[in-house]
Structure 1
Amino acid sequence: MPPTVYATWVPSPQHRYGDHPESPARLRGLADLREAHDGTIWLEAPLAPIETITRAHHPNYVAYLQQIVRHGPAVIDYAPTYVTPTSFDDARRAAGGVLAVLDAVLQNESARGFAWIRPPGHHATRTQAMGFCLFNNIAIAAHEALARGIAPIAIVDFDAHHGNGTQNIFWHEERVGFVSTHQEDIYPGTGDFDEAEHARGRILNLPLPARTDDEGYARVFDQVIGPWMERWQPALILVSAGFDAHWRDPLTQLGLSARGFAALAQRLVQWANAWARGRIVFALEGGYDPLAVAASGRAVWAVLHERPLPEDPLGPAPMKGPDVADRILYARRLHHLG
């Protein structure tokens, strides 16, 4: 019996700012997914309730954001993160989209989902907008799951940038494990291996060198994240799915291909089946080359539906990636993974 796939679509067309790379164009190459008649159950994305958002964000920050958008369009941090007059509701609806998918997945057997949303969320801390992010969508969803008694939770962030906001929100939350694979030495400047010394074995930061490719990522997932999942045994897996680790992305220098993203998704689904009763929710984060986002998104979509992978029009990275054996060894030793 094929799995049930739930999804939401929140393109936020009014949330845009000049030629800023975080724009509605990021999702245009995936718009036809909604017309595919592939068995997906598409859900409405409501505005996330304020009281749900404030589990992850300080009420003063939520009030500030609600007020500052009235002066938009405006840049509110150096990344630059921008707001428009619709951005507060756009961010609430993005969070609401993840919550809708989460609710469906938790209520149904053999269910999984993808929230195609923007603005993204993983840089937003408890008190601050950062890195194109206003509300931390995946953190809001994790808090909702905790409130329903679902624990432990694993959050896996494969965006090219460190998920500093998610880490910040769950810095002291023992029921949430967090793993971030990201390019070293780029924005936001966080995510070193030993950054969260107090939470070794729970917070895994895995900075990777530029050009790390499909093979390198697969080894990191198999030799570090897989053993960690076996030890953590989550009741739910949430995925910050950033496609800016693709080799074509203009803001980063990593080397994943669409097939590489599919391989990561296959592992995540396998782990969800092994420990979380199949419960896994993906939420879009970064990815700033529309063709790469479309190719990568379609590949992951095929994995969720257990269909053959589509042809990759962009192919693999043009250069072979570096060896990541030293990173793997260090991470395994640091977190006592054998």
Structure 2
Amino acid sequence: MNTLYLSHPDCLDHQTQLGHPERADRLLVVERALEQEIFSGLLRESAPRGDETLALLAHPEDYVRDIYEALPREDIINVADDTVLSPGSWNAAMRALGACSYAVDEVVTRKVDNAFCAIRPPGHHAERDRPMGFCLFNNAAIAARHAQKEHGVDRVAIFDWDVHHGNGTQDIFWADKSVLYASTHEMPLFPGTGAASERGEHDTIVNAPLHAGDGSPAFREALESVILPRIEAFSPDLIIISAGFDAHWRDPLANINLTEADFALATRAILNLADRRCGGRVVSILEGGYDLVGLSRSVAAHVTTLMRG
């Protein structure tokens, strides 16, 4: 299985305050985890640098300009309660967008079977015109729009298994019948959205909320009874995974008790569905995951499975 791994050192330059959970160490532990011998067959490339035209696929011009003009020359500033900008944030974000769009290019044109983008800042909380939840631009939404605009892909499914609901992705695609957004997440929890009753204007929003203390059985039930059937019925041409690993039992920001085996199982299920519906075309994009041990082990399990290990 040809799995493409994309990352770039520029993504380390998005600096956050001491003690902030979304920190550069997250990518460093992912890199170390993927240095194991089992990953010797991974296709590794440096993420190309994207530009603001990619951001404009999901965000208004005024919003993109405001983010750029707010960049500090030194230090760190807040642009939302928990979301910051540092001097290196723009370059990090552009590398993230470059990684996601290039991953789509390579997967859709079948140069590789699937791809994993180890990038930051994450994206799924970024709404059309509002940064939040550590996120500036919505990487997964931009990847979906890029697939449609540049490759003529008709239908894209986004499966978000981050423990926090992807309010931004839901916001962007609420009225769009060409993109299915499906999410498992803890509720109630930040950002407060994600009720099962939130279904979008075309019934293409699929929320399967879990409760604090839930673990593998509840997650797997939501996957098998809600998420997979809806993605299957949608029959997408491409599947994008918003791959947050903060539902791991070690994570400090939530209370869902998943293990690496759960992420491997979900990955395998998506690959099998993709084989049936869209020629196996899957792009995975890193979102959350804030315990470094849990993150590294979960990414290793996820990428091993993408490689059909």
The TM-score range, normalised by the shorter chain, is over 0.9
Structure 1 runs of 4+ with >6 Å offset: none
Could you say which residue in structure 2 is the equivalent of 1:246?
A: 248
Whole-angstrom distance in 1 between the partners of 2:280 and 2:112: 6
Q: Deviations over 1:177-212 (max 9, x none)?
A: 000111001100111111235332x11011111122
Task: Please state how far the C-alpha of 1:109 moved relative to its aligned partner.
Answer: 5.9
Task: Please state how far the C-alpha of 1:29 moved relative to its aligned partner.
Answer: 2.2
Whole-angstrom distance in 1 between the partners of 2:88 and 2:25: 17
Unaligned segments of structure 1, at least 5 residues: 308-338
Q: Deviations over 1:225-256 (max 9, x none)?
A: 22112211111000000000001100101010
Q: Which residue identity lines up with residue 12 of structure 2 in the other structure?
A: P
Whole-angstrom distance in 2 between the partners of 1:197 and 1:81: 26
Q: Which residue identity lines up with residue 176 of structure 1 in the other structure?
A: V
TM-score normalised by L of structure 2: 0.94
Match of residue 88, structure 2, among 76, 86, 90: 86
Matches within 5 A, 1:264-275: 264-275=266-277
> Counterpart of 2:273 in 1: which secondary structure?
helix
Match of residue 134, structure 1, among 126, 136, 153: 136
Q: Deviations over 1:286-306 (max 9, x none)?
A: 000000000100001110111
Task: Please state how far the C-alpha of 1:28 moved relative to its aligned partner.
Answer: 2.3
Could you say which residue in structure 2 is the equivalent of 1:184?
A: 187
Go from structure 1 to structure 2 and tell me whether the alpha carbon gap of 1:7 and 1:98 turns closer, same or farther (over 3 Å shift). same
How many pairs does the alignment contain? 303
Q: Which residue identity lines up with residue 4 of structure 1 in the other structure?
A: N
Q: Which residue identity lines up with residue 100 of structure 2 in the other structure?
A: V
> Counterpart of 1:64 in 2: which secondary structure?
helix
Q: Which residue identity lines up with residue 27 of structure 2 in the other structure?
A: L
Whole-angstrom distance in 2 between the partners of 1:274 and 1:187: 34
Task: Please state how far the C-alpha of 1:67 moved relative to its aligned partner.
Answer: 0.8
Could you say which residue in structure 2 is the equivalent of 1:327?
A: none
> Counterpart of 1:244 in 2: which secondary structure?
coil
CA contact (8 A) 2:208 2:227 kept: no
Match of residue 73, structure 1, among 51, 71, 76: 76
Confirm whether residue 22 of structure 1 aligns to residue 22 of structure 2: yes
Q: Which residue identity lines up with residue 8 of structure 2 in the other structure?
A: V
> Counterpart of 2:256 in 1: which secondary structure?
coil
Go from structure 1 to structure 2 and tell me whether the alpha carbon gap of 1:28 and 1:109 turns closer, same or farther (over 3 Å shift). closer
Question: Between Structure 1 and Structure 2, whose CA radius of gyration is higher?
Answer: 1
Matches within 5 A, 1:236-315: 236-307=238-309
Q: Which residue identity lines up with residue 267 of structure 2 in the other structure?
A: A
Q: Which residue identity lines up with residue 265 of structure 2 in the other structure?
A: A
Whole-angstrom distance in 2 between the partners of 1:228 and 1:156: 11
Task: Please state how far the C-alpha of 1:35 moved relative to its aligned partner.
Answer: 7.0
**RMSD, matched Cα:** 1.5
> Counterpart of 2:183 in 1: which secondary structure?
strand
Matches within 5 A, 1:84-123: 84-108=86-110, 111-123=113-125
Whole-angstrom distance in 2 between the partners of 1:166 and 1:10: 24
CA contact (8 A) 1:109 1:277 kept: no
Could you say which residue in structure 2 is the equivalent of 1:335?
A: none
Q: State the percentage of identical aligned residues.
A: 37
Match of residue 3, structure 2, among 1, 5, 8: 5
> Counterpart of 1:70 in 2: which secondary structure?
coil
CA contact (8 A) 2:104 2:143 kept: yes
Whole-angstrom distance in 1 between the partners of 2:100 and 2:53: 16
Whole-angstrom distance in 1 between the partners of 2:283 and 2:264: 15
CA contact (8 A) 2:238 2:282 kept: yes
Task: Please state how far the C-alpha of 1:146 moved relative to its aligned partner.
Answer: 0.9
Could you say which residue in structure 2 is the equivalent of 1:204?
A: 206
CA contact (8 A) 1:81 1:132 kept: yes
Q: Which residue identity lines up with residue 68 of structure 1 in the other structure?
A: A
Whole-angstrom distance in 1 between the partners of 2:88 and 2:131: 16
Q: Which residue identity lines up with residue 168 of structure 1 in the other structure?
A: D
> Counterpart of 1:189 in 2: which secondary structure?
coil
